[in-house]
């Protein structure tokens, strides 16, 4: 997760909504024991692109969400509802949820690559308790 400066000069952990949605998608896909290549084919993107969707560096489109939801045995609204619940949980833990990615390239102002997808998925597992 990236950090944002607060008025006190401190740092506050932050996560973007696309990262949360991507983490939810990854969590569901993993629970159903589906691989990224299968999901990517269903959506009509290359596997590396699907990986970037799951990491939140590329946001999923409404069309892609509608295509993938049946394969994940959920409706698009159920997927987004799960993301909304996760966002609320992050906020309660003091983690800022931003509506958009910090950078289209996935690199923040200091030049660090965002390597937090695993942390987001781990927190989702805690939030949803293995659902």
What tens digit of pLDDT does each residue of 46-89 get? 999 999 999 888 999 999 999 999 999 999 999 999 999 999 99
Q: 5-33: buried (b, 16+ CB within 10 Å) or exposed (e) per residue? A: eeeeeeeeebbbbbbbbbbbbbbbbeeee
Domain residue limits, the chain:
2-128
Instruction: Please tell me the CATH code under which domain 2-128 is placed.
Output: 1.10.260.40
* Assessment of whether the complete model's pTM goes beyond 0.85: no
What tens digit of pLDDT does each residue of 20-44 get? 999 999 999 999 999 999 999 999 9
């Amino acid at each position: 997760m990236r950090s944002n400066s607060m008025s006190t000069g401190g740092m506050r952990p932050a996560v973007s909504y696309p990262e949360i949605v991507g983490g939810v998608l990854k969590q569901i896909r993993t629970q159903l024991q589906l691989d990224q290549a299968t999901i990517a084919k269903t959506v009509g993107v290359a596997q590396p692109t699907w990986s970037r969707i799951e990491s939140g560096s590329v946001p999923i489109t409404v069309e892609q969400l509608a295509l993938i939801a049946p394969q994940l045995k959920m409706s698009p609204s159920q997927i987004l509802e799960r993301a909304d619940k996760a966002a609320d949980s992050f906020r309660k833990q003091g983690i800022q949820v931003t509506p958009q990615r910090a950078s289209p390239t996935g690199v923040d102002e200091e030049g660090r690559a965002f390597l937090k997808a695993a942390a987001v998925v781990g927190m989702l597992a805690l939030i949803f308790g293995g659902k």
